[in-house]
Amino acid sequence: MELEWRDVSIAYRIRDNDGPRSLQAVDHVTLKIPSGGTVGIAGESGCGKSTLAMSVLRLLPKTSTITGDILLDGQDVSSMSFGQLRAVRWTEASIVFQGAMNSLNPVRKIRWQIAEALELHSKGSWKDEKGRNARVDELLTLVDLPVSKAESYPHELSGGQKQRVMIAMAMACDPDVIVADEPTTALDVIVQAQVLDVLTALVRERNLTLVMISHDLSVLASTCERLVVMSEGRIIEEGPSAQVMGNPQHEHTKELAAAFPTIGDPSSRLRVGRAGVTSKPSEPDADGRAARLEVRDVTVDFSTRGSKVRAVDHVSLSCAPGEIVALVGQSGSGKTTLARTILGLQQPTSGEVFVDGKPLPRRRKALRDYRRRVQFVPQDPAASLNPKLTVYEAIAEGLRIHRVPDDERERVAEALRQAELEPPERFFGSIPQELSGGQRQRVVIAGALALRPEYLIADEPVASLDASVRGEVLALLLTLKNTLGLGALVITHDLGLAWNIADRVLVMHQGRIVESGPVEQVLLDPQHDYTKTLLRVVPAGVTRDVNRGASRADG
Amino acid sequence: MSDAVPSALAPHEAVTPSDEPIRGASLGRYLATKALGAAISLLMVVVLGFFAFRILPGDPVLSMTRGRMVTPEEIARLRREFGLDQPLVVQFGRYLADLTRGDLGTSFFYNAPVSRLIAERAGSTLLLTGTAAVISIVLGLWLGQRAAWKRNSGFDKATTGLALVFWSVPTFWLGLLLLMAFGGPLPTGGMITPGLNATGFAYVVDVARHLVLPVAAMVAVTYAQYLMTMRSSMLEEMTADYLTTARAKGLNEDGVRTKHAVPNALLPTVTIIFMTLGHLIGGAITVETVFSWPGLGYLTYQALSAPDLPLLQGTFVVFSSIVVIMNFLADLVYRVLDPRLKAA
């Protein structure tokens, strides 16, 4: 079934400080996807890609107005009656939403939710409940889920399983067109690879037309024949995936492509951002005992309802000043628990954390002093900044807690300057809501810097940021390392990030460090099976050179 | 959490003890925890019920005999009769022993067992508060979800505005107003027309006619809390992604609302419904007094004006126990409604 947007513009009526106005989300877009074609739409948040995708089934809020024609198999979706539209929804085109998020109804069982679509468009054998149940079982098998999962509620499934359910649900009424809206965002790399496998296999076997949306060019390149790059509501570049990825023409596309570095490519090693901030790899210091943060044989157990779970299993690591160490692993590998233990927020079951050879203090005052030296940068700046506090208050809070005697205003300004928010005075009165995602993360980092720490512990510092902003924030971390000699432990599931900025990398799996060493050694010549698997599932387009690296290792 | 994985990745997948959801396995444990909590609350109610009324100022025997010619000997005899001459510890022990037999003591004023007095009137209170609660909850929830679905519409503004006006009106004042306005066509007090001696259907009609005004007063001042809770909880659900999923499947707006949004929006209202249900029974005091409804509230009012110590103590224990039991029920119902609690 053919899908076509003919000179489509979509505007939202919004209301802000200047009163009601119209926001152009999609601006004169013309795009044609032939039957059986697969197209990826890329772009940063707010570029209009989701609006464009949702317009296929007219799933836009009432405040939107559509001009132009959206043709699904020659029929104009935008002029259908609501009844006609409902009949088209899910039978001709269906959508795979971000299942890891809140796209499944939390109080209904999986079987109920899939069967609901069958019941709405009942035909043939789905007219009775028995037929529908059989169909649900068949659909779950199709996405490699055990049939027993039908009796589960969404919260009982993992992120990857939920995403499979979303795919099964989308396939329910045998549609010809599938729109996948960020289907793997928020999944870690291994699960992402599995979900993409399921989706692409279905698309290939059934000759479906696929429209896939993502902010990650490499994910799209590995699943779609053609790529479309959007910015500010317009299509700025379009072409076969390999061409767009390999030889991007538009500035913005280049930025998007560069945001996900090629592991093994020397031009992106310790070099990030538009300004191309670089850094020398830090020398392994001669006297290993010198000032450093050290974790010695730490184990953390959690007991839940009788059963014991070992989150961190005899882990040792160290981080010297001026060194960036990347801790890489899947969700559930114990990375965050380890970070909490280092920050003194989690009592280890055994083992200890040392700073400068002294164990992490337990007494309140000493612990406070320790925390001034080791600061934390959490994952999602939107959630970690108090929405009611101004930037100034947010940064000054740490200074007040630690009763720093210096001039508060000066220290706040200094921290903002270090975080490259200039002029600092301009940001004093801002509240987080008025800032962009990248600015917010800079404010969080400034809050940590205000205390002049020696180490930063950053938990997925760029996972919630757009591609171009990601580069800027990573560049900032490199700059801080260069100018302040800051040591950093960066927790991430993103191997590209490690390649970008880290000196050493530690691979964590099921609570254990399975491999560690200099970045080049671990990423180009992985020894442990798990590291190899991680590298293998990084979407194609990013790993071009890894295969070379791996074959070199074989030879 | 683990995932089904292609074989190549299998050795590296996180292993969880059991991949299948453990549902219902911990039901016993959950029940035990909640029941224990409720039992502790009940025990505190019992203890408080005794001591709270012992530290009140005023001598109950003197108040009872006020305005009558009594000799000090008679007062002493009354004290002995009611056990008030005993030390507090002995009184408390007797109170506990009696309580285990369901004996709440003997009313000074009515000179009858408190438990019997309460049992006699419990039915009429349940009739009044039950009817009012059902109407109030259904009305509040229904209006609340409609108002949220069409937020900022005329319907939304009118219903929430009106509900808040009623919510802020004093119950007795509204009751008196209703009496003045409808006192003619509808009966103004009591539960049955005296001397009518109706049976069967005629009796039902008679009671129903007596119910109209007190129920109206109670509903008017209580339905706003259900409306506002439902409205805000519904507004929260309305931006949820699973509603977009439901729309994309081809559901019409009514289906999206009733099958997806409402079941989720109901969850937060369950807690408040059960909490207010417990209080409704105690809260009937004003309405029962204004409309002379022969229920527990009216009984409490009379016990207060006496003051009738055992009777007050008895109604206190009963009212508070109902609140505790309702909260316990809320926990149970919530668990049935929200599958996510079962894993927690």
Query: Would you tell me which CATH number, out of the four given (1.10.3720.10, 3.40.50.2300, 3.40.920.10, 3.30.70.360), belongs to the domain B114-306+326-342?
Result: 1.10.3720.10
Give B279 or B224, the one with higher predicted confidence. Answer: B224
What is the distance in angstroms between the Cα of A305 and the nearest Cα belonging to chain B? Answer: 9
Is residue A392 classed exposed, middle or buried when 0-12, 13-18 and 19+ CB atoms within 10 A define those classes? buried
What is the distance in angstroms between the Cα of A148 and the nearest Cα belonging to chain B? Answer: 8
Quote the ipTM score.
0.76
Q: pTM of the full predicted structure?
A: 0.77
* pLDDT per residue as tens digits for the range A3-45: 999 999 999 887 766 777 888 889 999 999 999 899 999 988 8
Q: Do A95 and B248 touch (CB under 8 A)?
A: yes
Per-residue pLDDT at B318: 86
**Is it the case that residue B343 has pLDDT exceeding 80?**
no
Q: Do B244 and A97 touch (CB under 8 A)?
A: yes
Per-residue pLDDT at A28: 92
Per-residue pLDDT at B1: 40
Measure CB to CB from residue B3 to each of A103, A148, A194 and give the nearest one: A194
Edge-first strand order for the sheet with A3-16 is A19-33, A3-16, A64-72, A75-76
Per-residue pLDDT at A331: 80
Measure CB to CB from residue A102 to each of B5, B8, B242 and give the nearest one: B242
* pLDDT per residue as tens digits for the range A488-503: 999 988 888 888 889 9
Tell the residue number behind the tokens 């269906």, with chain if given: A94
Residue of B nearest to A333 (CA): B14
Measure CB to CB from residue B250 to each of A121, A161, A305 and give the nearest one: A121
Per-residue pLDDT at A305: 63
Q: Do A148 and B339 touch (CB under 8 A)?
A: no
Residue of A nearest to B15 (CA): A510
CB A3 within 8 A of CB A177: yes
* pLDDT per residue as tens digits for the range A419-439: 888 888 888 888 888 888 888
The listed range with the strongest mean pLDDT (A2-11, A329-338, B10-19) is A2-11
Q: Do A194 and B6 touch (CB under 8 A)?
A: yes
Q: Which of A153-162, A478-487, B62-71 has the lowest mean pLDDT?
A: B62-71
* pLDDT per residue as tens digits for the range A57-95: 988 888 889 999 999 888 898 888 888 888 889 888 999
B343 in A contact zone (CB under 8 Å): yes
B14 in A contact zone (CB under 8 Å): yes
How many other CB atoms are there within 10 angstroms of residue A287's CB atom? 6
Residue of B nearest to A104 (CA): B242
Helix, strand, coil fractions of chain A, as percent rounded to 5: 40, 25, 35
Q: How far apart are CA A47 and CA A49, in angstroms?
A: 6
Residue of B nearest to A118 (CA): B249
Residue of A nearest to B343 (CA): A156
Report chain A's mean pLDDT, rounded to a whole number.
Answer: 85
CB A103 within 8 A of CB A165: no
Predicted confidence band of residue A237 (pLDDT cuts 50, 70, 90): very high
Predicted confidence band of residue B193 (pLDDT cuts 50, 70, 90): confident
User: Is residue A518 classed as helix, strand or coil in its secondary structure?
Assistant: strand
Measure CB to CB from residue A106 to each of B4, B248, B264 and give the nearest one: B264
Q: How far apart are CA A195 and CA A189, in angstroms?
A: 10
CB A534 within 8 A of CB A255: no
Report chain B's mean pLDDT, rounded to a whole number.
Answer: 82
Instruction: Quote the percentage of chain B above a pLDDT of 90.
Output: 26
Please list the residues that pair with B247 across neighbouring strands.
Answer: none
Q: Where are the domains of chain B?
A: 114-306+326-342
CB A473 within 8 A of CB A438: yes
Is residue A241 classed exposed, middle or buried when 0-12, 13-18 and 19+ CB atoms within 10 A define those classes? buried
